[in-house]
Structure 1
Amino acid sequence: MLATAAHPVFTHVMAALVRLDRDLRVDFVRGLSLWVIFVNHTPGNVIGYLTPRNYTLADASEAFVLLAGYAAGLAYGGVMDRQGWFFAASRVLGRVFTLYVAHIFLLVVFTAQVGLSAARLDAAAYLDELHLDPFATDPYRALFEALLLRYQPSFLNILPMYIAVLAMFAVAMPLIRRPWLMLALSATLWLAARVFDITLPSWRGEDWFFNPLAWQLLFFIGCALGYRPPGGQPLSLPWRRWAGVLCGVVLGCGAVMTVLMYAQWEFTQARLPAFAPFIAAVDKASLHPTRLMTILALTYLIANLVPKDAAWLRGRFAWPFNLMGQQSLPVFCAGIALSFLGRVALEESDGWAMQVAVNVLGTAALVGLALLTAWYGAEKRNGGRRGATAGLPTVTATDRG
Structure 2
Amino acid sequence: MLALIRQDRDLRVDIVRGFALWAIFVNHTPGNWLGYITPRNYTLADATEAFVMLAGYAAGLAYGIVMDRQGWFFAASRVMGRVFTLYVAHIFLLVLFTAQVGFSAERLDAAAYLDELHLDPFATEPYRALLEALLLRYQPSFLNILPLYIVVLAMFALAMPLMRRPWLMLALSVGLWVCARAFDLTLPSWRGEDWFFNPLAWQLLFFIGCAIGYRPPGGAALSVPWRPWAGALCWLLLAAGAAMTVLIYFQWDFAEASLPAFAPFLAAIDKASLHPMRLLTMLALTYLIAHGIPRDAAWMRTRPALLLALLGQQALPVFCAGIGLSFAARLALEFSDGWAVQAVVNLVGAALLVGLAVLTAWYGAEKRAVRRPPPPLQAPATGDSR
For the aligned pair, the TM-score class normalised by the smaller chain equals: over 0.9
Residue 145 of structure 2 corresponds to: 158
Residue 10 of structure 1 corresponds to: none
Alpha-carbon separation, structure 2, partners of 1:376 and 1:208: 35
Matched, 1:98 2:85: yes
Residue 185 of structure 1 corresponds to: 172
TM-score, scaled to structure 1: 0.92
Residue 251 of structure 1 corresponds to: 238
| Residue number among 285, 288, 296 corresponding to 1:301 in the alignment | 288
| Residue number among 334, 350, 354 corresponding to 1:367 in the alignment | 354
Alpha-carbon separation, structure 2, partners of 1:273 and 1:78: 52
Q: What's the CA shift for 1:238?
A: 1.3
Q: What's the CA shift for 1:319?
A: 1.4
Residue 282 of structure 1 corresponds to: 269
Identity %: 78
Match of 1:216, as an amino acid? Q
Residue 47 of structure 1 corresponds to: 34
Residue 211 of structure 1 corresponds to: 198
Residue 30 of structure 1 corresponds to: 17
Aligned residue pair count: 372
Matched, 1:130 2:117: yes
Alpha-carbon separation, structure 2, partners of 1:134 and 1:115: 11
Q: What's the CA shift for 1:384?
A: 8.6
Matched, 1:382 2:369: yes
Match of 1:267, as an amino acid? F
Match of 1:383, as an amino acid? V
Alpha-carbon separation, structure 1, partners of 2:318 and 2:176: 31
Q: Which runs of 5+ in 1 are unaligned?
A: 1-13, 386-401
Q: What does residue range 309-388 of structure 1 map to in structure 2 within 5 Å?
A: 309-383=296-370
Moved more, 186-195 or 376-385: 376-385
Matched, 1:238 2:225: yes
TM-score, scaled to structure 2: 0.96
Alpha-carbon separation, structure 2, partners of 1:90 and 1:266: 52
Structure having the higher Rg: 2
Q: Which runs of 5+ in 2 are unaligned?
A: 373-386
- What secondary structure is seen at the aligned counterpart in 1 of 2:44? coil
- What secondary structure is seen at the aligned counterpart in 1 of 2:303? coil
Q: Which runs of 4+ in 1 moved over 2 A?
A: none
Residue 270 of structure 1 corresponds to: 257
Q: What's the CA shift for 1:15?
A: 1.9
Residue 3 of structure 2 corresponds to: 16
Alpha-carbon separation, structure 1, partners of 2:241 and 2:32: 24
Superimposed CA distance per residue, residues 115-155 of structure 1 (whole angstroms, 9 cap, x where no aligned partner):
00000001000000000000000000000000000000000
Alpha-carbon separation, structure 2, partners of 1:196 and 1:244: 33
Residue 392 of structure 1 corresponds to: none
Match of 1:363, as an amino acid? A
Alpha-carbon separation, structure 1, partners of 2:250 and 2:53: 27
RMSD: 0.8
- What secondary structure is seen at the aligned counterpart in 1 of 2:357? helix
Alpha-carbon separation, structure 1, partners of 2:348 and 2:53: 28
Superimposed CA distance per residue, residues 344-391 of structure 1 (whole angstroms, 9 cap, x where no aligned partner):
110011111110011000000000000000011111111199xxxxxx
